[in-house]
């Protein structure tokens, strides 16, 4: 990944080529978003022309593909990069990602509504096959209710994925910046992420109560889980570094997480909340200091 970062920061032309060129390609919009984050974090307001051309390229791509995902991720990642550039902590960045997810949902439901209906119809067509005999046992009213949920669930899915990808692109851009100009800096930043107790409990309360206030407030549950999931991953990274464990532990975590996210996601949320109450890293650091005997 370093050669890509080196090429992006070689000059304005190279940065524009990556940001604008990748934004025009549906499968590489994430690289455009990460490259834009790198340029913005490093150059500040000087990156405006590069980001402007990247945004224009993203608009052109949306016009031809009618897929809003790339444009939403570009705007979301660069908005979070502006917060990070302004000196906000990663805790605030992750909380800001909830607002990014909500704005994405509003945009998808209004500006990009034409792209939602075909996806919702495709999900509705697949639903009987996915649920099998269970779906066939439903009454006509229950089937109609499931059909009515397709559009809201599609909006929630797009907004949630846009939020997660925005955070991941910012992480990649920050990692590139640290690799080029501050080796090891991003690792220290990420491992220090810990959601404060009141904030973590507030997020948990919103996640639990949101489904009771209607279909569209249901979106708050997955969006509010994102900061806690990333905080749990930061905790795992911090414990591995603190105990000087081998890197394969982290590889094992991510290899397990990707296919079983639906099962492990709630466990990570719980882990982050418990850490906000107990502070595992702080307790282990204190314990190690108390046990220091001057050897090694």
What percentage of the chain has pLDDT greater than the value 70? Answer: 94
Mean residue pLDDT of the chain comes to 88
Answer with the residue of higher pLDDT: 122 or 103: 103
Summarised one tens digit per residue, pLDDT across range 206-248 is: 999 998 887 778 899 999 999 999 999 999 999 998 888 877 8
- Angstrom distance (rounded) from CA 8 to CA 29: 15
pTM given for the model: 0.90
C-alpha distance from residue 160 to each of 8, 125, 172, 189, 220 (Å): 28, 22, 19, 24, 10
What percentage of the chain has pLDDT greater than the value 90? Answer: 57
User: What residue has token string 């249901």?
Assistant: 218
Residues 6+ apart with CB under 8 A from 253: 233, 236
- Estimate to the nearest angstrom the gap between the alpha carbon of 294 and the chain centroid: 42
Q: Is the pLDDT of residue 205 over 90?
A: yes
DSSP state of 45: G
- Angstrom distance (rounded) from CA 151 to CA 155: 6
Positive or negative CA dihedral for 219, 222, 225, 227? negative
Average pLDDT over residues 242-255: 84
């Amino acid at each position: 990944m370093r050669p890509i970062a080196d090429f992006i920061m070689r000059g304005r032309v190279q940065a524009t080529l990556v940001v604008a060129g990748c934004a025009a390609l549906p499968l590489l919009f994430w690289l455009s978003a990460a490259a834009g984050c790198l340029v913005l974090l490093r150059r500040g307001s000087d990156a405006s022309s590069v980001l402007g051309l990247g945004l224009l390229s993203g608009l052109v791509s949306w016009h031809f593909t009618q897929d809003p995902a790339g444009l939403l991720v570009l705007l979301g990642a660069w908005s979070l990069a502006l917060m990070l550039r302004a000196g906000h902590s990663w805790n605030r960045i992750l909380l800001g990602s909830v607002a990014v997810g909500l704005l994405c949902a509003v945009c998808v439901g209004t500006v990009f509504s034409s792209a939602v209906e075909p996806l919702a119809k495709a999900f509705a067509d697949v639903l009987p096959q996915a649920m099998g005999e269970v779906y066939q046992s439903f009454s006509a009213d229950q089937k109609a209710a499931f059909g009515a949920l397709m559009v809201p669930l599609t909006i929630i899915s797009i907004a949630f994925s846009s939020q997660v990808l925005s955070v991941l692109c910012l992480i990649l851009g920050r990692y590139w910046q640290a690799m080029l100009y501050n080796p090891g800096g991003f690792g220290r930043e990420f491992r220090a992420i810990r959601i404060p107790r009141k904030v973590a409990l507030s997020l948990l309360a919103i996640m639990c109560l949101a489904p009771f206030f209607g279909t569209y407030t249901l979106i708050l549950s997955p969006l509010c889980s994102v900061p806690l999931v990333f905080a749990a991953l930061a905790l795992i990274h911090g414990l591995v570094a603190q105990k000087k464990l081998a890197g394969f532990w982290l590889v094992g975590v991510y290899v397990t997480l990707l296919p079983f996210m639906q099962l492990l996601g709630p466990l990570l949320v719980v882990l982050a909340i418990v850490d906000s109450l107990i502070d595992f890293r702080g307790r282990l650091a204190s314990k190690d200091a108390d046990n220091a005997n001057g050897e090694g």
